[in-house]
Amino acid sequence: MKEIEGLDHALEVLRPKWDEFNRHFDSENEKFIALLQQDHDVLGRVLKAHLILEHYLTAFLGQTLGIQDIDSIRLSFAQKADLLPSSGTAASVIKLGIKRLNSIRNKFAHRIDVDIEQLDINAMTEVIHIFRPHAVFGSNLERVEAFMTIAVTFLILPPPDLQDAFAEAFSQVHAYDHDLEQVN
C-alpha cells in the first residue's frame, strides 16, 4: 500500500505543461533570489534604533508615570509613544519623531524592499536641525540614527535638582501633528 496515491495521475496531467511550469518557477525564483539578496543593513539599523529607543521610552514612562513594572502592562510601541506628553516637557519635542520612527519600522516589518530615502522623516529632521544644526548626514538612515540619539537623551530623566530647569526650559513647547492639530 502506498502512502500517497494518485501521484502517477497528477504527473501525467502536468507533464504536457512541464516546460511552462519550469519557466514560471524560474521567473518566480529570480524574484525570490532578488528579495533574499536585499541589503539587510538598513533593516537591521532601523530595527536597532527602534529597539534602543523603546528601551529608553519604556524606562521614561515607568519613571514619569510611577509604574514600577511597566513591562508587565505589555504596551505596544505606538501606545508608549501616545503616552508621551505633547507639551511642556523635553519629551514633547521628540514625540512626533518617535511616532515617525515607529511608522518606518512598521514599513520594514511588512515590506522587505523599502527605500528609506523615499520615506518622510520630517518630524525627525526638524529636531536634528535644532539640536545638531551643523551636522551633515548623507542619508535618511543616518538621520534616523541621529534622531534616535537625541531622543534617547531627551528620555533620560535628569537628577531631581536639574528637573526644574528642564521643566522651565520646555514649558512653552507643543507638538502638532501634520494637520496642525495639537497632539494629545
Per-residue pLDDT reduced to its tens digit, 50-97: 999 999 999 999 988 888 899 899 999 999 999 999 888 888 999 999
In a domain, 176, yes or no: no
Same domain, 59 and 96: yes
pLDDT of residue 178: 55
Same domain, 112 and 127: yes
Q: How many domains does the chain have?
A: 2
Helix (H, G, I), strand (E, B) or coil at 131: helix
In a domain, 111, yes or no: yes
pLDDT of residue 180: 41
Same domain, 137 and 158: yes
pLDDT of residue 182: 43
User: Which residues make Cβ contacts (< 8 Å) with residue 53, sequence separation at least 6?
Assistant: 98, 101, 148, 151, 152, 155
In a domain, 181, yes or no: no
What global pTM score does this model have? 0.73
Q: Facing residues of 182 across strands?
A: 176
Helix (H, G, I), strand (E, B) or coil at 112: coil
Q: What angle do CA 167, 135, 114 make, to 5 degrees?
A: 95
Same domain, 100 and 128: yes
Same domain, 98 and 119: yes
10-19, 35-44, 128-137: range with highest mean pLDDT: 128-137
Same domain, 28 and 107: no
In a domain, 102, yes or no: yes
Same domain, 80 and 26: no
Q: Are 93 and 173 in contact (CB under 8 A)?
A: yes
The overall average pLDDT reported for the chain is 87
Q: Residue 13: which domain range?
A: 7-36
pLDDT-derived band of residue 109, with 50, 70 and 90 as boundaries? confident
Residue 88 sits at φ, ψ, to 5 deg, of: 80, 5
